[in-house]
Structure 1
Amino acid sequence: MSDEKKIEKNKQIIEINKMGEPFQKSVHVSFIFNRQHFKGTVEKQLKNSAIIDFDNEFSNSETALDLKQKVVISYSKMKLLN
């Protein structure tokens, strides 16, 4: 199998649900994780959730450090920020 076919086979098309439509890549959001409020930027959309990068103001928090600055959050748990 050629390298191009292997790469194409490994690409996965993720169908975003309706709730995820406003949460495009690079959008600024707020969310609650372990009863704490955080802000971050959407790095990647998944079907029912998104991978979020913590904002700099939270990057030194114990939670962000434990999660290596990234967390997966359900679309229903996120809010858009202006």
Structure 2
Amino acid sequence: MATFGKFDTSITPSEEGQVFQVDTHVKFTIYGKSQTGTVTKQLKNSAVIELDETPDNQQLITQSNGVLIINYKHMKKI
């Protein structure tokens, strides 16, 4: 297997993101409705969130495959 250079894929979250470590349960609003989920990956200014499944958000889960990217400014730790 050939390598074409070293790629450093580590991402350092912003100062706001330090609170939202992986496996942190969070709350946020999307499309005017409050949702909850768990941080699965941290990015620079946002995080990948796995949605908590509820009877009210089945369409959102289907559309997004159960995963959303949310900015740290729009999340609250619960």
Aligned residues: 78
Q: Which residue of 2 aligns with 1:61?
A: 58
Q: Is the 8 A contact 1:39 1:58 kept in 2?
A: no
Is 1:25 aligned to 2:7, yes or no? no
- What is the CA-CA distance between 1:10 and the residue it aligns to? 3.8
The two structures have a TM-score, normalised by structure 2, of: 0.86
Q: Which residue of 1 aligns with 2:42?
A: 45
CA distance in 2, matches of 1:45, 1:58: 27
The two structures have a TM-score, normalised by structure 1, of: 0.82
- What is the CA-CA distance between 1:9 and the residue it aligns to? 2.6
After superposition, the CA RMSD in angstroms is 2.1
Q: Which is helix-richer, 1 or 2? A: 1
Residue 33 of structure 2 aligns with an amino acid whose one-letter code is Q
Unaligned runs of 5+ in 2: none
